[in-house]
Structure 1
Amino acid sequence: MRWIFLLHNNAQKRHGNWCVSSSIPPPLFIHGCLSQTDQFPWSWGFQGSEARQQHRFHSPKPCHLENLRAQDPVRRIEAEGGFTELWEPNSEELQCAGVNMVRHTIRPRGLLLPGFTNAPKLVFVVQGTGIRGVAMPGCPETYQTDLRRSQSSGNFRDQHQKIRQFREGDLLVVPAGVSHWMYNRGQSDLILIVFVDTRNVANQIDPFARKFYLAGRPEMMRRGEWEGRSYRGSSGEKSGNVVSGFADEFLEEAFQVDSGLVRKLKGEDDERDRIVLAEEDFDVLMPERDDQERSRGRYVESETENGFEETVCTLRLKHSIGRSEHADVFNTRGGRISTANFNNLPFLRQVRLSAERGVLYNKAISAPHYTVNAHTLAYATRGSARVQVVDNYGQSVFDGEVREGQVVMIPQNFVVMTKAGDRGFEWIAFKTNDNAITNLLAGRVSQMRLLPLGVVSNMYKISREEAQRLKYGQPEMRIFSPGRTQR
């Protein structure tokens, strides 16, 4: 049977500070052997501009952001194959932004158990390499062996959905309600920083992150912790996976297995928590790299995807934001910044999130700027920096050092400026909009450059010559080289 589905996309290309929209005049119909698209409410429902602006639920109470903090995780959960660290979800900053932050450290041969959340996630690979599986509902098992040969020989061979590789510097997308797992196939620890957008419109339960595991008996956050009690001093009680609440006889009939296997499904005696150590013969089907990829010595990602050739079951859910050749802003003495938004990773339009990867060299400065349409959650991946944040009253709400492993939230429209320490500074910033727009206050393409000299001189009560120096004195853009201060 042939299914007919509609692909309709509004491609947008950014040029400088302008966004130019174009659309395909006639609808494009394609015949194929794919599942019905109504099984994928998060995949092809491109919204109008008005709907996209209302993609997040507002905070039920006013935000008190007079004193921002650089935050460390407050809770650590040990597991057999690593550990998980959690930031305080009830902090004023994270509650206002409507997000949660998690960090996984997975040891070699560690497997993060399959599960799904009630809100979309972005995952940045801080360190290590691995593979992951994303179980797209309704899609077929496209990775399979020669089933006819294995059936004739009497050997059973597996088949499953596509396995995706990732490495340090990759940004991974996980839609709400879609199960995924991750495995560390490297020789060192795999470190992942996870950003969960709990106020995203995809979350229709409540403004808290709920993780549903398919296996094991992980330690979970209880209702009281969601409603205001701190993570600190929590009991650490074990919960069950999503099948553990069903009656044994229901599961025996549903899976066609015996009672002994049902008890293992429920994980009643499983103390390994959410990260387990896999057996030595951990086996998944993956194609060998072709000769061209092998000769280059690394995995090569296609740069030609624009969203039109992506089908529901083969969506691209990764972007190598950490690679220097992907830099959108580059200063040989200052550093670089790379951006992932719906233009280079089209699926971000569906989860309505984006990210920014930044590298500042020793003593370099990131220009004073603000994000027009999004909150920003910045996680320091290496080094340290002095960060200053100013609110709408012109008051400093944060002025301090941000070190590796800490998180700082910069609210929408709050102006931020960063100066790297002696060892430089690197960060990953998650933003609550799929096309987050940054406005600069200094340097090229800044607000100051857009103003006439007469306006600048009168607004600051300075001479025309002083206004000219103020407007054109900084020739660099976004990242400023160290040591350029004029006395």
Structure 2
Amino acid sequence: MATKTINVLAFVLLLQYASCYAQIEQVTSRSQGQQPHRFRGGECQIERLNTLEPSRRIEAEAGVSELWDEDEGQLQCAGVAVVRHIIQKRGLFLPAFTNAPELMYVVQGRGFQGVVFPGCPETYQSPEGSQHSQSRYGGQMRGERTQDQHQKVQQIREGDIIALPAGATHWIYNQGQSELVIVSVVDLSNQENQLDHSFRKFFLAGNPQQGRQQQGGSSQSWGPRRRGGSSQQESFGNIFSGFDEQILSESFAIDTELAQKLKCQDDQRGHIVEVQNELQIVSPRYREGEQEGESEWKREREWRGGRGRGTRDNGLEETLCTMRLRENINKPEKADIYNPRGGRFTTLNSFSLPILSFIGLSATRAVLYRDAIVAPHYHMNCHGVIYVTRGSGRIQIVDDSANTVFDGQLQEGQLLVVPQNFAVVKKAGSEGFEYVSFRTNDNAMVSSLAGRLSVIRSLPEQVVMNSYDVSREEARRLKYSREEFAVLSPGSRSSQRGMED
């Protein structure tokens, strides 16, 4: 008997060691810059690209969600799903989680967002005797608890990028006076998604399938399209509604009447509900004269500068509970590339927001002035998903067969995928061109084909001369006519270098 007990104990210890070792290996590989593995749902056989607009619209009491068609070829090639949420004033997007990592961009508005990680402490607490300590009906809560406690809540606003790991429960509340508009890219090809290649939203409240709208005679609802050619859709719902009431009652130590309310079966409000009065939550306020996120951003930049960019993380500097999930990329002073006549680029990757190394995504914000050009380039290690936030621009994309797979205008609210290694050039319209590009790599790399630091400029003159059958003078003009990098001024070439240089 003793020998059997020892063997069982040894087996359990071995499993624990294997689990810990696997987690250490995972953290180590990501801290060394290795991209999370991506699987492919299908080959990228793209002969023609088109601008994309939402194909489904799901309305709720206090907002609407618009979904792009997952079966669209270019989205399947990129391995992503795209959703746009429009939340009205005092609208609450109900708690939910997704089967794959998400990267959100706040197009307009402001509000609160909460993200829940299992095992992390409830670090936000209301003071004793505050209004937060009262129940909905004015009495004290069961067990004489007089404080509200919950995990961290962050304020969000226009220009914020928000990272969400797979399976992390989150909610959103519109605190502002205007609509809160958020565009979300879900990385279905990420290894964290071990279900099928479909976008799935698991709600913890409400009755989301009630949020529907008739479009063209068909009912639109939450849920992935059924595979196999069927036009029917599975609907997303409140996961508690599938459990037995008695089991819920025992699990929460509540009566069956309250357990029934968890299921929200008679709720007709949909997935975005209106909050009466104002949502009362525990959240820190900024002091007078303090700009949101400024001190935090400066501290992190100084800290990372002191460590050195090449220093490897040891996995202990930031735990998942304290890791930042948000960074604003709309501020001009944060631009990584700036041309006074052309515009600016701001890049967010795993160096500036470490959580991105865990979800394998990054983003770039572009603000182009009238008629400015983004130099021809290609993405070396990722796909790009462009969403236009303001203005319009002309885009040309060329594949490996030298076919122009896209040549057209991209306007506000539209979407376009730029496949990996396809060459692309952009030119802003008369009203300028602003967009955010979501990229399927936490450290996306772009190779420019024109201007400073470009491929052509980096080639020896003799290679350019023989490759294009041009004279030395023409080779130098190809290499040196543009002194600008990435964002090119409109109209004329920048300062040229004469032969005497």
For 1:446 and 1:178, the matched residues in 2 are separated by 40
Instruction: Give yes or no for the alignment of 1:351 onto 2:359.
Output: yes
Pairing partner for 1:89 from 58, 62, 70: 70
Is contact 1:208–1:226 with CA below 8 Å preserved after alignment? Answer: no
Gap runs ≥5 in structure 2:
1-18, 135-139, 210-220, 305-312, 495-501
Could you tell me how far 1:226 is from its partner in structure 2?
4.7
1:300 aligns with 2:297: no
Q: Distance in 2 between matches of 1:224 and 1:360?
A: 37
- 2:394 paired with 1:418: no
The residue aligned with 1:20 is none
RMSD: 2.6
The residue identity in structure 2 corresponding to 1:280 is N
Matched residue type, 2:386: A
Query: What is residue 283 of structure 1 aligned with on the other side?
Result: 280
User: What is the rounded CA distance, in whole Å, between the counterparts of 2:452 and 2:291 in structure 1?
Assistant: 39
1:322 shift after superposition: 1.4
Deviations 1:48-107 (A, max 9, x none): 699935610023x32221100110001110011110000000000111111000000001
Report 1:96-111 matches (<5 A): 96-111=77-92
Separation in structure 2 between the aligned mates of residue 266 and residue 346 of structure 1, nearest angstrom: 37
Q: State the partner residue of 2:372.
A: 364
Q: 2:208 corresponds to which residue?
A: 218
Alignment partner for residue 398 of structure 1, among 398, 403, 406?
Answer: 406
Shift of 1:258: 2.1
Residues 1:177 and 2:167 aligned together: yes
In structure 2, what is the equivalent of residue 253 of structure 1? 250
TM-score, with structure 2 as normaliser? 0.83
2:226 alignment partner AA: E
Corresponding residue for residue 187 of structure 1: 177
In the other structure, the counterpart of 2:29 is: 47
- Answer whether contact 1:172 1:317 (CA < 8 A) is retained: yes
d(CA) in 2 for partners of 1:374, 1:335: 24
2:485 aligned residue (472, 477, 485): 477
Paired residues of 2:481 and 2:493 also in contact (CA < 8 A)? no
What is the match of residue 241 of structure 2? Answer: 244
Question: Which residue of 413, 426, 430 maps to 2:438?
Answer: 430
Instruction: Give the number of aligned pairs.
Output: 441
- For residues 21 and 321 of structure 2, what CA distance do their matches in structure 1 show? 11
Question: Is 1:198 the equivalent of 2:198?
Answer: no
Q: Is the 8 Å Cα contact of residues 217 and 238 (structure 1) preserved in structure 2?
A: no
Q: Is the Cα contact below 8 Å between 2:482 and 2:493 reproduced in 1?
A: no
SS at match of 1:428: strand
Q: Which residue of 2 aligns with 1:74?
A: 55
1:312 aligned residue: 320
Asked if residue 334 in structure 1 is aligned to residue 334 in structure 2, the reply is: no
Secondary structure of residue in 2 paired with 1:165? strand
Deviation at 1:253, TM superposition (A): 0.9
Q: Is the 8 A contact 1:90 1:226 kept in 2?
A: no
Percentage of identical aligned residues: 47
Aligned partners of 1:114, 1:49: CA distance in 2, in Å? 30
Q: How does 1:49-68 map to 2 (within 5 A)?
A: 52-53=34-35, 55-59=37-41, 61-68=42-49
Distance 1:213 1:399 in 2: 40
Deviation at 1:370, TM superposition (A): 0.3
**What's the counterpart of residue 97 of structure 2?**
116
Deviation at residue 41 of structure 1 after TM alignment: 6.0
Q: 1:313 aligns to what SS in structure 2?
A: coil
Q: Secondary structure at the match of 1:283?
A: coil
Letter in 2 for 1:427: Y
Deviation at 1:404, TM superposition (A): 0.4
Q: Which amino acid aligns with 2:391?
A: G
The higher radius of gyration belongs to 2
Aligned partner of 1:124: which letter? Answer: Y
Task: Indicate if the aligned counterparts of 1:358 and 1:426 stay in contact, CA closer than 8 A.
Answer: yes
**Secondary structure at the residue paired with 2:365?**
strand
User: What is the CA distance between 1:264 and its match in structure 2?
Assistant: 1.6
In structure 2, the residue corresponding to 1:199 is in which secondary structure?
coil
Aligned partner (choices 450, 454, 462) of residue 458 of structure 2? 450
Matching residue of 2:262: 265
Kindly state the Cα deviation for residue 122 of structure 1 after the two structures are TM-superposed: 0.3
Letter in 2 for 1:240: G
Contact 1:240 1:267 in 2 (8 A): no
| Residue identity in the other structure for 1:460 | Y
- 3-state DSSP of counterpart to 1:483: coil
Residues 131, 46 of structure 1: alpha-carbon distance in 2 compared, 3 angstrom cutoff: farther
CA distance in 2, matches of 1:368, 1:415: 7
Distance in 2 (alpha carbons) for counterparts of 1:54 and 1:311: 18
Change over 3 Å in CA distance of 1:136–1:227 after alignment to 2: farther
Pairwise CA distance, 1:196 = 0.1
CA distance in 2 between counterparts of 1:211 and 1:40 reads: 28
Q: Which amino acid aligns with 1:429?
A: S
Partners of 2:395 and 2:29 in 1: CA distance:
36
From the two aligned structures, give the one with the greater helix fraction. 2
2:60–2:270: 8 Å Cα contact kept in structure 1? yes
Q: What is the TM-score normalised by the length of structure 1?
A: 0.85
**Residue identity in the other structure for 1:133:** G
CA contact (8 A) 2:58 2:222 kept: no
Whichever residue aligns with residue 276 of structure 1, its letter is V
Distance 1:311 1:48, change over 3 A: closer
Q: CA shift at 1:129, angstroms?
A: 0.7
**Superimposed CA distance per residue, residues 121-143 of structure 1 (whole angstroms, 9 cap, x where no aligned partner):** 00000001111111011011111
Deviation at 1:274, TM superposition (A): 1.1
Question: Residues 142-180 of structure 1: CA distance to partner in whole angstroms, max 9, x if unpaired?
Answer: 1113459979x9783311111111110010000001101
Matches within 5 A, 1:1-12: none
Distance in 2, Cα, partners of 1:188 & 1:143: 27
